C-alpha cells in the first residue's frame, strides 16, 4: 500500500490545497489564459504545485499578478515572493507551497516549462550514475 507523501513541516495537505485553490480562482477571476496546474510533489523540494498561466499583454500579466498577490494576502497566505513585475514578460510568484508563472504567450512558448515539469522523473537509482 502506498502512502501519500507528507506535507513539509508546518504545512498540511489542507493548507497546500487551499493555497492552490486560491491561486486557481484568482487566475480565473483575472481572465488568465491557458491555466495549467502541475503537481511537482516529489519532483522538487521548492513547492508541491506549480501553476503556469498566460496574460494577453504586459499590462494583463501585471494585473493578473497584482490581483493574485492581493487575493493570497486576503486569504491569509501572507506576502508571497515576486520576481519580474517591472517588465511583466514573465512574473514568478512563490507562496512557498505553490509557484506561479505568469507569461506573455510568446515567452511561455519559448521556455515551455510545462514540458519540462510535467514529464515523469525516473526514481530508480540505476538512472543516476
Closest among 96, 38, 31 to 59, alpha carbons compared: 31
pLDDT tens readout for residues 32-62:
999 999 998 888 888 889 999 999 999 999 9
User: Is 128's pLDDT higher than 50?
Assistant: no
- What domains, with CATH codes, occur in the chain? 13-111 (3.30.460.10)
Q: How many helices (H) and strands (E) does the chain have?
A: 4, 5
How far CA 3 is from CA of 6, 7, 8, in Å, comes to 8, 12, 15
Cell of 98: 505553490
Confidence at 24, pLDDT banded by 50, 70, 90: very high
> Confidence band (pLDDT; 50, 70, 90) for 70?
very high
DSSP code per residue over 69-117: HHHHHHTT--PPEEE-TTT-SEEEEE-SSEEEEEE-HHHHHHH-HHHHH
* Residue-wise pLDDT tens digits, 92-125: 999 998 999 999 999 999 999 988 877 654 444 4
Confidence of residue 5 (pLDDT cuts 50, 70, 90): very low
Amino acid at each position: 500500500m502506498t502512502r501519500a507523501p507528507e506535507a513539509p513541516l508546518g504545512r498540511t495537505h489542507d493548507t497546500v490545497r487551499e493555497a492552490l485553490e486560491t491561486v486557481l480562482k484568482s487566475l480565473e477571476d483575472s481572465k488568465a489564459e491557458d491555466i495549467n496546474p502541475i503537481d511537482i510533489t516529489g519532483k522538487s523540494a521548492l513547492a508541491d504545485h506549480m501553476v503556469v498561466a498566460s496574460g494577453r499583454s504586459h499590462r494583463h500579466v501585471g494585473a493578473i499578478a497584482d490581483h493574485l498577490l492581493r487575493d493570497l494576502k486576503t486569504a491569509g497566505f501572507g506576502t508571497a515572493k515576486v520576481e519580474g513585475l517591472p517588465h511583466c514578460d514573465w512574473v514568478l510568484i512563490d507562496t512557498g507551497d505553490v509557484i506561479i508563472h505568469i507569461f506573455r504567450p510568446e515567452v511561455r512558448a519559448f521556455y515551455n516549462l510545462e514540458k519540462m515539469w510535467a514529464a515523469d522523473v525516473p526514481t530508480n537509482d540505476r538512472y543516476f550514475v
